[in-house]
Structure 1
Amino acid sequence: MPVETMMEIDMKTLLATLLALIAIAPLAVADVRAGPLPEPTGKTLLVVRGNIERTNRGDAAHFDLAMLEALPGRTARVETPWTNGTVAFEGPLLRAVLDHVGAQGEKLVIRALNDYSAEVPLSDARDFDTILALKKDGKHMSVREKGPIFLIYPFDKNPELYNEKYFVRSVWQIKEIEVMR
């Protein structure tokens, strides 16, 4: 068989394989999100409950550090009313956590370790790159440093968010998110 013919066959096979992979990729993602969440293997840092489709303990979704860090996230270099100068906060996108559990609703009630809570429209997670910050300047945050989880709005991308309305929603020492209709 001539080399040109063999190359044509190999290219056709490669193209067919790539097209097949592209076609089944959405099914693989859907399959990952179907069914219960895996159990955390470490200490639970966050509990998501309420109007969610995927759980791993009773009617709630429990996340340890590894589970949260495995989700899509970002680093925000921002100035906040609670820090000096520009600080780098890093963690999963709030929308990634909510998508992972199949959250459906209109608002979130975000609760801190001291039982402080704030109502946050679910649209804030969809419309902005809000993050559940786990790290500040590359280090995991302790409770004393407003950790282990701090809701950070994208003040770096949306300077118009730098106001009292969003400061009140920026809960720190987060322990739970409840998804409400």
Structure 2
Amino acid sequence: MNTFSRRMLLVAGLALASITPARAEDILLTIETASGQEEHFDRERLLALPQHELVTHTSVTDGVQTFTGPFMRDLLAEAGVTAETLTAIALNDYQIELPAEDFTRYDVVAALEMNGETLTPRDKGPIWIVYPRDEFVELQDIYYDYRWVWQLVRLEEQ
């Protein structure tokens, strides 16, 4: 094998290595589609989606907070989800069914940051589903508070 061929082989190998899927320990969110296919999202893939700021009160923090992350509808579109209902599952196994209509009707954010700080499991991360509570009176009802899933790790299409 000549020097040029070796270099091309090395370049091709490095290019392939750069597109390997996320390592299991880097995965923040898994979305299972109705067909059983899983889409895995690490922080980099989540940050590649358009990021939005949502300024709102919550029922579990004091004062107004600024949340940053992709809209849930963009995240679901990226995963190819088209169902009317999803099951959201948190790190502590909390589960709730969420109507997908929420994500088209409201600008719900899959928050990765709060007040400019990366969310961690200690402060409701790595992902927190956040509704624009201050913009809609109906979202201030406890019925919607249950949908604010923190420590989100999995979504399953129903």
Consecutive aligned runs of 4 or more in structure 1 exceeding 2 Å deviation? 38-42, 156-160
Amino acid at match of 2:32: R
Q: Could you say which residue in structure 1 is the equivalent of 2:123?
A: 145
> Percent identity among equivalent residues?
36
Residue 49 of structure 2: which of 44, 47, 71 is its match? 71
Q: Which runs of 5+ in 1 are unaligned?
A: 1-37, 53-57
User: What's 1:121 paired with?
Assistant: 99
In the TM superposition, 1:158-173 aligns within 5 A as 158-173=136-151
Given candidates 28, 34, 56, the residue that maps to 1:51 is: 34
Say if 2:65 is the partner of 1:87. Answer: yes
Cα distance, 1:72 vs structure 2: 1.8
Asked if 2 retains the 8 angstrom alpha-carbon contact of 1:133 and 1:152, the reply is yes
| Whole-angstrom CA distance in 2 between matches of 1:51 and 1:97 | 16
Larger radius of gyration: 1
User: AA paired with 1:152?
Assistant: V
Q: Could you tell me how far apart the structure 2 residues matched to 1:81 and 1:110 are?
A: 19
User: How many residues of Structure 1 are paired with residues of Structure 2 in the alignment?
Assistant: 139
TM-score normalised by structure 1 residue count: 0.72
Alignment pair present for 1:107 and 2:89: no
RMSD: 1.9
The answer to whether the 8 Å contact 2:33/2:80 transfers is no
Name the CA distance, whole Å, in 2 between partners of 1:74 and 1:103: 20
* CA offset digits 1:148-172 (Å, max 9, x no partner): 1000001133233111111011110
- Looking at structure 2, the residues matched to 49 and 154 of structure 1 have their Cα atoms a distance apart, in angstroms, of 25
Are the aligned partners of 2:134 and 2:140 in contact in 1 as well (CA < 8 Å)? no
Give the counterpart letter for 1:94 in structure 2: M
Alignment deviations for residues 20-41 of structure 1 (CA, whole Å, 9 cap, x no partner): xxxxxxxxxxxxxxxxxx7236
Segment of structure 1 superposing worse, 122-131 or 151-160: 151-160
Q: Distance in 2 between matches of 1:70 and 1:168?
A: 28
Does the CA-based 8 Å contact 1:40-1:67 persist in structure 2?
A: no
Q: Which has the higher contact order (CA 8 A, sep 6+)?
A: 2
Rounded to whole Å, the distance in 2 between the matches of 1:51 and 1:82 is 32
